[in-house]
Amino acid sequence: MKEHLPLNPSMALVHNDFRNGNFMVGPNGVVAVLDWEVAHIGDPMRDLGFRRRGHIDHVFLVEFTTDPGGTYYVQYASTPEELAANPYQAKTALPPVKGTGGSVQWIDNGPPKTESPPVNGARFYRVMRSP
């Protein structure tokens, strides 16, 4: 995966809590995004991993949008700081996810995708697209 990471990831305004509860929806779709207190400048791919992250009985569901045929790697950590520290040292779930051109639901219930099952509702994700 190291050889496929972007050398200079783009920096952008990252919401960092991009979920259904923070959208205001009207008859024509999303009209506002709420709850900006944890926003920062960072890698915009971070918001993809936060788009939908659900936890039920030590299982997390991560939902993200993909391009047809794209290759996506899901990285995970126990804290957001650990995940953001260095993409080369983050834990990476395998196998990679193949893009469908739509929304993909990836389930983390532990091995064999990840080293251990998520516990105590504390796991953070980043989705990275390989060129």
Q: How far apart are CA 43 and CA 84, in angstroms?
A: 9
Q: Between 7 and 123, where is the model more confident?
A: 123
Tokens (6 digits) for 84: 């953001």
Indicate yes or no: pTM above 0.75: no
Statement: residue 78 has pLDDT above 70? yes
Range with top average pLDDT, 26-30, 37-41, 108-112, 116-120: 108-112
Predicted pLDDT of residue 52: 41
Q: Which residues pair with 128 in a beta bridge?
A: 73
Predicted pLDDT of residue 97: 93
Q: How far apart are CA 24 and CA 126, in angstroms?
A: 24
Name the DSSP letter for residue 21. Answer: G
